Amino acid sequence: MHPSRQVYPIERIISAASYLTAGGAGFVWLIIAALLKKHVTQFLLYHIMQSIFLSIAYFLLTVFAELIYVILYRIPLINAIPYFINMPLPFLFGLSVIQTLTTAIILYLAITAGMGLYSYFPWVSDIINTNVGRK
């Protein structure tokens, strides 16, 4: 995490909202900026692109996990593994392990963006840094 230079409060809000809405708020902001011919700062572009990339990656991962689940469901004794991974746990407020992990990651990214920092998510942030022109 590296602090950025002169991040305006609206950029922090849009960056955090972009993570919380799976990239939706950031995508709308990019459309508005394009229509008004406004410059999008590097900080804002970094977080918007990272949130959109993570949302697409998460969607593809869930589709792949569903395919694996269908295969594992047919195998006796092993079919209990997906159930235990997705089982609601009372000490995690009724969330499963996967739901808790994804919620924690989204909150981490949204909070660091709200603080005006370039949040780091392994491998993804490296790709986004290259495409945004930070490195």
Domain residue limits, the chain? 2-132
The pLDDT value recorded for residue 2 is: 57
* Cα distances (angstroms) measured from residue 45 to each of 14, 103, 135: 10, 22, 14
What would the pLDDT profile of 48-101 be if each residue is shown by its tens digit? 999 999 999 999 999 998 898 888 888 888 878 777 777 888 888 888 888 999
The pLDDT value recorded for residue 33 is: 95
The pLDDT value recorded for residue 8 is: 92
What would the pLDDT profile of 24-61 be if each residue is shown by its tens digit? 999 999 999 999 999 999 999 999 999 999 999 999 99
37: left (phi over 0), alpha (psi -120 to 50) or beta: left
Distance CA 44, CA 17 (A): 11
Distance CA 71, CA 53 (A): 27
User: Helices 42-73 and 24-36, interaxial angle, to 10°?
Assistant: 140
The pLDDT value recorded for residue 1 is: 57
User: What does the pLDDT average to over 100-121?
Assistant: 95
The structure's pTM equals 0.86
**What's the token pair of residue 41?**
């700062």
